[in-house]
């Protein structure tokens, strides 16, 4: 399909789009470069891109005009000419000024980390509520970008960074964006009223919510604990809509389990705000199960990001059980056992081999009985 590029030239865009990943790293954060690039590459591939190259620069402060230095700009230009690159993805949130300057200089689409994550959310949104939440977040972010781009966004063409839920092309005009945000907020208010009604009906149930970094295995654990078939994919943000199921227990106890959207480093504030009502199930939970992928070398850093997100959701004081998942992929199990001892109520499990699942289930049942006694006693008083 022919689409017009930034400089007005016709270019044939064939899925997947060819991209270059770019990261600017402070000297003090250089040890995190590898894991950041790995995550950015996973995000790009989840969005449907083909990663052609990776470029990084170590410097204390961004270049005032292009974010990266002129030498790196020249390096990127060569890669664009040699490989027919469609877009450059930056591992940060770029101002409207940087977007405009880079697009004019490089002649291709510029995507920042926030737009990339939102694009993935837009592709994975299935329910009406999720679609509204994603589009709302995208449009709010677009308004911040317009500060450096004038009345309309200069970016032309389609594909990554330009699509809303259902491949709908996002608005680029400021006035239309503001009006669309108003409409979406009203629709979300109606959905929130229905959500509150459902929440009232569940007050007599024990509510357990799964939380964790994206792609840690929450949906897999959900399927095991509820004997259900929630869709499981080895991809980032495969779950956007909260899924609630009755937990299967020996005595059919009144327990529901909810799977939520995964967290990630630098999760856009606009997305967190738009998904606030969806994530209310985290704050309302009686127990949180934090699922951790211990096969990742930086899993402790990811746990810290989950911790910070729970603080922002005002859910940090809810009783938490730690499920250290994918233990079957770990070579040094003694190290993981040693680390897990730092966390109270932690279990080493594998959703794939079922290792440790029975121990986790038995502990959950024990906690559920304790909560039921407390709720019954409170009700009697």
3-state per-residue secondary structure call for 45-75: HHCCEEEEEEEEEECCCCECCCECCHHHHHH
Tell me the torsion sign for CA atoms 84, 86, 92, 96: positive
Which comes out higher in pLDDT, residue 237 or 227? 227
Same domain, 85 and 231: no
Same domain, 365 and 230: yes
Same domain, 220 and 359: yes
| Each residue's pLDDT tens digit, 288-324 | 999 999 999 899 999 999 999 999 999 999 999 999 9
Residue 256 near residue 247, CB atoms below 8 Å: yes
Same domain, 207 and 355: yes
Residue 141 near residue 122, CB atoms below 8 Å: no
Same domain, 106 and 19: yes
Choose the most confident range, by mean pLDDT, from 116-120, 142-146, 204-208. 116-120
**If you write DSSP's letter for every residue of 211-229 in order, what string do you get?**
EEBTTSSHHHHHHHHHT--
Q: What are phi and psi of 290, to 5 degrees?
A: -90, 115
- Report the CATH number that the domain containing residue 66 is assigned in CATH: 3.40.50.11060
- Residue 204 is predicted with a pLDDT of 77
**Which residues are part of a known binding site?**
212-219, 237-241, 259-262, 325-328, 350-352
Same domain, 234 and 359: yes
Is residue 315 included in any domain, yes or no? yes
Same domain, 212 and 74: no
- Report the CATH number that the domain containing residue 252 is assigned in CATH: 3.40.50.300
Q: How far is CA 366 from CA 211, 257, 346, 369, in A?
A: 20, 16, 14, 5
**Which residues are part of a known binding site for Mg(2+)?**
219, 239
Domain stop point among 123, 140, 159: 123
Same domain, 355 and 238: yes
Q: Which residues pair with 256 in a beta bridge?
A: 207, 246
Distance CA 28, CA 58 (A): 9
Is residue 339 included in any domain, yes or no? yes
Distance CA 315, CA 258 (A): 15
Is residue 287 included in any domain, yes or no? yes
- Residue 315 is predicted with a pLDDT of 94
How many domains, in total, are found in the chain? 2
Domain stop point among 123, 144, 168: 123
Same domain, 239 and 366: yes
Domain stop point among 105, 123, 141: 123
Domain range for residue 12?
Answer: 2-123
Run of H or E residues at 366: helix 357-380
Q: How far is CA 323 from CA 307, 347, 357, in A?
A: 14, 5, 9
| Each residue's pLDDT tens digit, 33-92 | 888 899 999 999 999 999 999 999 999 999 999 999 999 999 999 999 999 999 999 999
Is residue 170 included in any domain, yes or no? no
| Each residue's pLDDT tens digit, 140-178 | 998 888 864 544 555 546 788 777 887 677 777 888 999
Same domain, 103 and 207: no
**Which residues are part of a known binding site for GTP?**
212-219, 237-241, 259-262, 325-328, 350-352
**If you write DSSP's letter for every residue of 151-208 in order, what string do you get?**
SB----S-STTTB-GGGPBPP-BHHHHHHHHHHHHHHHHHHHHHHHHHHHHTTTSEEE
pTM for the model: 0.84
Same domain, 116 and 212: no
Does 115 score more than 90 pLDDT? yes
């Amino acid at each position: 399909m022919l689409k017009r590029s930034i400089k007005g030239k016709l270019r044939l865009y064939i899925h997947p789009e060819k991209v270059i990943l770019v990261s600017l790293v402070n000297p003090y954060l250089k040890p995190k470069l590898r894991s950041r690039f790995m995550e950015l590459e996973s995000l790009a591939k989840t969005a449907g891109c083909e990663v052609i190259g990776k470029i990084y620069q170590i410097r204390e402060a961004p270049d005032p005009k292009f974010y990266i230095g002129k030498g790196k700009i020249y390096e990127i230009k060569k890669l664009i000419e040699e490989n027919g690159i469609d877009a450059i993805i930056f591992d940060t949130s770029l101002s409207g000024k940087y977007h405009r300057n880079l697009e004019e200089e490089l002649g291709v689409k510029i995507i920042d980390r926030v737009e990339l994550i939102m694009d993935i959310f837009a592709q994975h949104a299935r329910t009406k509520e999720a679609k509204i939440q994603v589009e709302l977040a995208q449009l709010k972010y677009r308004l911040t970008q317009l500060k450096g781009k004038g009345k309309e966004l200069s970016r032309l063409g389609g594909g990554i960074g330009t699509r809303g839920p259902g491949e709908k092309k996002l608005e680029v005009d400021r006035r239309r964006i503001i009006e669309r945000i108003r409409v979406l907020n009203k629709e979300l208010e109606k959905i929130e009223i229905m959500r509150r009604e459902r929440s009232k009906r569940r007050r007599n149930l024990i509510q357990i919510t799964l939380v964790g970094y994206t792609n840690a295995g929450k949906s897999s654990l959900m399927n095991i604990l509820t004997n259900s078939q929630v869709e499981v994919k080895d991809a980032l943000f495969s779950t956007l809509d909260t899924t609630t199921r009755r937990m299967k227990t020996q005595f059919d106890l009144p327990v529901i389990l909810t799977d939520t959207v995964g967290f990630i480093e630098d999760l856009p504030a606009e997305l967190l705000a738009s998904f606030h009502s969806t994530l209310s199930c985290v704050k309302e939970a009686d127990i949180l199960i934090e699922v951790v992928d211990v096969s990742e070398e930086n899993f402790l850093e990811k746990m810290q990001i989950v911790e910070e997100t729970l603080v922002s959701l005002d859910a940090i004081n809810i009783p938490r059980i730690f499920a250290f998942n994918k233990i079957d992929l770990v070579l040094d199990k003694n190290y993981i056992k040693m680390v897990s001892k730092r966390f109270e109520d932690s279990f080493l499990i594998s959703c794939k081999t079922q290792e440790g699942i029975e121990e986790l289930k038995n502990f959950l049942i024990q906690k559920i009985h304790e909560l039921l006694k407390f709720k019954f006693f409170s009700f009697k008083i």
